[in-house]
Chain A
C-alpha cells in the first residue's frame, strides 16, 4: 500500500517529457504541426507538379530534338493561338462538356428517381447503377466501339430491325461525336445518379406527405420540393462531372482515336499526343496549363453559385 502510494506521488512529480512542451506552445502551433504532414504530401503531389508544369510551359523542350531546354517566354502560348488543332480539340472538348454534362444530369436524375422508388428488393437496382460507374473508362470505350460498329454493332442491328438505315458511325465527324457523347452519358450518368440519390434520401418523407395534404400533385412536388432541396447535390455532381468532362480522354481515344481526322479529338488527347507521342514537353505543358485554367474557372463559377444560394 505504502509502495503504491509512493510510486503514484513519484509519477505526479515527474516532469513531462521534453517533447510535449512543444505542444504547450499554442493551439496554433499544434494545428500547424498536425497539418504539416498532409500539407507536405499535398505540396509534393499536387502543388509542385502544377508549378513545375507552369514553369516547363515557358520552355522549348522537345526530347526528340536533342536540344537543351531553352527559355522562350510565352512563345508556346503564342503558338497555340495559331494552332488550328488546338482550337478544334478545345471546341470538341467544350462541345462534349456541353452535351454530356446536361445529358448525364437528366439521365442521372431519372435513374436516381427510379432507384429511390420503394422497390421490395433494393440491391439489383443499386447494383445496376454502380456497374457503369465501376467499369473502367477504356473498357466502356471498347464496348461501345463494338456497339456502334457499322457491320457487327448492336446499334445498327436495332436500327435496321426498325426499318431504319444503318449508320457508319465512325466515318462521319457528327455521327462519331454523337456516338462518343452517348457513350459518355451512359458511363457517367450513374455517377450523377448516385450523388442525386444520396441527396434524395436526405429529403424527409413527411415533406411529401405535407405536400400531399397541401394539395400538390406529383409534378408540383418535384418542382417545389425535390428540385430545390436537391440543388446542393446537383451542384456538387455538376462540378465533378464538368471537370472530368473537360478532361475527356479514354472514351474517344478507344472509340475513334480522335478521328475521322482530328474531328473527335479532345484537348486531353492533344496534350497526350504532344507530350507522350511527340515528346514535346514545352508545348504539351502549355496546353495542360490552359486545361487546368479552364477547370479552375468552371470550379470557381460553381462554387460561387453554391455560396450565393446559401
Chain B
C-alpha cells in the first residue's frame, strides 16, 4: 500500500490543455473517486498515474518514489479498465495469472493467489472459462481478480461499471466497497456517475475542464458545495438554482417571491445588500409549507409520484425547480401552493464567479 501525490500535474495535446496543474495528496489506503463530466480530464489523470499517458509537466509520486518516467510495469499498480481488457484467448485463470507469470512468481504461489482472489470474488467456478463465455458482471469480477492477485500498492479503476446494467452496477459497486474494506489498498477510481462517487469514496475529487473544483468527503461535497458546478453535479435530482437579488435584507426572486436573508445568513446580510446571487436548494430540502418558517408561493407544473416520494416541479421566474416531497403530497398540476424551505440548507453563490458566498 502507498500514498499517491500529484504536484502541479499537467497534460497538454499541442495547445490543448487537458489537465491544468492538479495538486492532490491521496493517503495510504484511501479510496478516492475522481468524478466529473466527459472531457474533464479525470481519465487522463488516472492514465498518467498508471503511466499509460506521458505527463506534460508536474510530478507523480507513488509512496516515496517519483514515477514520472517509469513504465507502467515499474509503478507497482494494477488497473481495471472500462472494457475490462481481458485477454480473450486466455482462460480466466491465465488472465489472472498473467502478471504473476511475467514477474516469475512460482506456479504454486501463483495458483494460491489466483484461488484466493477467485474465492474472494466468487468466480472460483469460472477459472477454466474464456472471457467470451462470461457475462458482463463476471468479466468485471475477473478484471478485478486480475488486479487483486498482483497485490499492488495502488488500484486504479477506470469507469469499471459503465458497461453494466443498472441492477448489476449497484451489486458490483457494493462488492468493490467490500473489497476495499477487506484488502485496504489505496484506490483511485474514475467515474462520471456521482452516485458511484458518493457511495464508494472516502474522498471525492470533482474535476471540471482539467481543474479540481472541490475535494472533500461525500458529506462535504453534498452539504457544502464550493460552487454552482459542484452543487449541480452532486445529488440526484440535481440541486435547484434560481437567481435573486439581495434587497432590504431579503432575497428577491424574479417572480417576486422573497426569502428573509436574516434567517439564512445571520450577520452577513449587510455585506450582501444589493448583490446578485444564485440561490441553491436541494430538492430534498423543500417541504410542505405547513411546518416551515420560510416558504415560496409557486405554481405546480408537473407532479411525479415515485412511490417512496413525490417529485413536484414548479417554476421561479424562468428557472424550473424540483422538490422532493413526502409520498402523500399530491398537489394538482396548475395549483398554487406554498413550499417550505429549510433555511439551514439554502446555499448562496456569487452570480458572476458562481463560487459559494461564505
Among B51, B52, B79, B83, which residue has its beta carbon within 8 angstroms of that of A204?
B83
Q: Decide if A229 touches B89 in the complex (CB within 8 Å).
A: yes
Of the listed stretches A92-100, A132-140, A205-213, name the one at the interface; the rest are far from the partner chain.
A205-213
A window 189-217: CB within 8 A of B: 204, 206-207, 209-217
Pick out which of these stretches binds chain A: B96-104, B120-128, B220-228. Answer: B96-104
Distance A215 CA – B152 CA, assembled complex (angstroms): 12
Would you call A213 and B83 a contact (CB within 8 A)?
Answer: no
Could you tell me if B79 and A213 are in contact, using CB atoms closer than 8 angstroms? yes
Complex CA distance for A229 and B132, rounded to whole angstroms: 13
Distance in angstroms between the alpha carbons of A224 and B98 in the assembled complex: 10
A203-253: which residues lie under 8 A (CB-CB) from chain B?
A: 204, 206-207, 209-217, 220, 224-225, 228-229
A207 CA / B87 CA spacing, docked (Å):
7
Shortest distance between the CB of B327 and any CB in chain A (Å): 45
- Roughly how many angstroms separate A232 CA and B79 CA in the complex, as a whole number? 29
A-B residue pair count with CB separations less than 8 angstroms? 57
Residue on A with the closest CB to B74? A215
A206 touches which one: B71, B78, B85, B89 (CB < 8 A)?
B85
* Residue in contact with A209 in the complex, picked from B52, B78, B150, CB distance below 8 Å: B52
**Quick check: A215 and B103 within 8 Å, CB to CB?**
yes
From residue 92 to 148 of chain B, which have CB atoms closer than 8 A to chain A? 98-99, 102-103, 146
> Are A214 and B102 also in contact (CB < 8 A) when A204-B85, A228-B89, A229-B89 are?
yes
* In the complex with contacts A204-B85, A207-B87, A229-B88, A212-B98 CB distance below 8 A: no
B312 at the interface (CB under 8 A from A): no
- By a CB distance below 8 angstroms, the chain B residues around A216 are 73, 98, 102
Distance between Cα atoms of A206 and B98 in the complex (Å): 15
Partner of B83, one of A206, A217, A229: A206
Q: Nearest-CB distance from A241 to chain B (Å)?
A: 23
Instruction: Judge whether B331 is part of the interface by a CB distance below 8 angstroms.
Output: no
Question: A206 near B99 (CB under 8 angstroms)?
Answer: no
When the two chains form their complex, are residues B73 and A209 in contact, meaning their CB atoms are under 8 A apart?
no
Q: For A212, what are the chain B residues with a Cβ–Cβ distance below 8 Å?
A: 51-52, 71-73
B50 within 8 A of A: yes
Can you name the residue of chain B whose Cβ is closest to the Cβ of A225? B87
Q: In the complex, what residues of A have CB within 8 A of residue B83's CB?
A: 204, 206
- Set A215, A225, A228: member contacting B99, Cβ < 8 A: A215
**Given A214-B73, A215-B73, CB of A209 within 8 Å of CB of B85:** yes
Q: In the complex, what's the smallest C-beta–C-beta distance from B48 to chain A, in angstroms? A: 13
Question: Is residue B279 contacting chain A, with contact meaning CB distance below 8 A?
Answer: no
**Nearest residue in B to A228 (C-beta to C-beta)?**
B89
CA distance A286 to B31 in the complex (A): 76
CA distance A78 to B174 in the complex (A): 78
Option from B71, B85, B89, B103 in Cβ contact (under 8 Å) with A210: B85
Is B190 on the interface with A (CB-CB < 8 A)? no
Q: Taking the nearest CB of chain A, how far is it from the CB of B104, in angstroms?
A: 10
Verify B81–A215 contact, CB threshold 8 A. Answer: no
Closest A residue to B102 by CB, please name it.
A215
- B79 lies within 8 A of A210 (CB): yes
Q: Is the CB of B72 within 8 A of A213?
A: yes
Residues of A6-46 whose CB lies within 8 A of B: none
Bound Cα distance A212, B150 (Å)? 13
A–B pairs, 6, beta carbons within 8 Å: A204-B83, A206-B81, A212-B73, A214-B146, A216-B73, A229-B89
User: Nearest 10 pairs between A and B by C-beta?
Assistant: A214-B99, A206-B85, A215-B73, A210-B85, A215-B102, A212-B72, A228-B89, A213-B72, A213-B79, A206-B81
Seed contacts A210-B86, A214-B98; 19 additional CB < 8 Å A-B pairs: A204-B83, A209-B50, A209-B81, A210-B79, A210-B85, A211-B87, A212-B51, A212-B52, A212-B71, A213-B51, A213-B78, A214-B99, A214-B146, A214-B150, A215-B73, A216-B98, A224-B98, A229-B88, A229-B89
